[in-house]
Amino acid sequence: MQHSISFKQRKFNKTFVQGIMASVEKLKRKSSNCAGETKIKKAKVDKEKLPKRNKRGELKFADHPDFRPNRTPKEILQAGAFGGGYFRPIKSGVTNEKYKDCWKEFPEHWFEGVKPSLSIANSTYDKSRNFYKVKCGASLEEWESSGWIKAQDPYGWFQWYCRFYLGRRTEDDERQIGRWNRFLSRFKTNLVNKIKKADASYDNYTISPVIRQSLLHWGYQIVPQDLGGKRKPSEEESEKNVPLK
> pLDDT (tens digit, 9 = 90+) per residue, 80-121?
999 999 999 999 999 999 999 999 999 999 999 999 999 999
**pLDDT tens digits for range 41-62:** 999 999 999 999 999 999 999 9
**Which region, left, alpha or beta, applies to residue 168 given φ > 0 means left and ψ of -120 to 50 means alpha?**
beta
Please count the CA atoms within 13 angstroms of the CA of 175 that sit on its side-chain side.
11
- Across the chain, what does the average pLDDT equal? 87
Flag the least confident range among 22-26, 165-169, 179-183.
22-26
* pLDDT interval class at 237 (50, 70, 90): very low
Residue 151 has pLDDT above 80, yes or no: yes
Residue 212 has pLDDT above 80, yes or no: yes
What are the DSSP E strand ranges found in the chain?
52-53, 59-60, 90-91, 98-99
Would you say the pTM of this structure is higher than 0.85?
Answer: no
Residue at 235: amino acid letter: E
Q: What percent of the chain has pLDDT over 70?
A: 79
* pLDDT interval class at 21 (50, 70, 90): low
User: Residue 66, Cβ neighbours under 10 Å: how many?
Assistant: 10
Residues 1-16: what's their mean pLDDT? 56
Give domain limits for the chain: 58-229
Report the candidate in 134, 135, 133, 183 with the shortest Cα–Cα distance to residue 158: 183
Residue 14 has pLDDT above 80, yes or no: no
* pLDDT interval class at 243 (50, 70, 90): very low
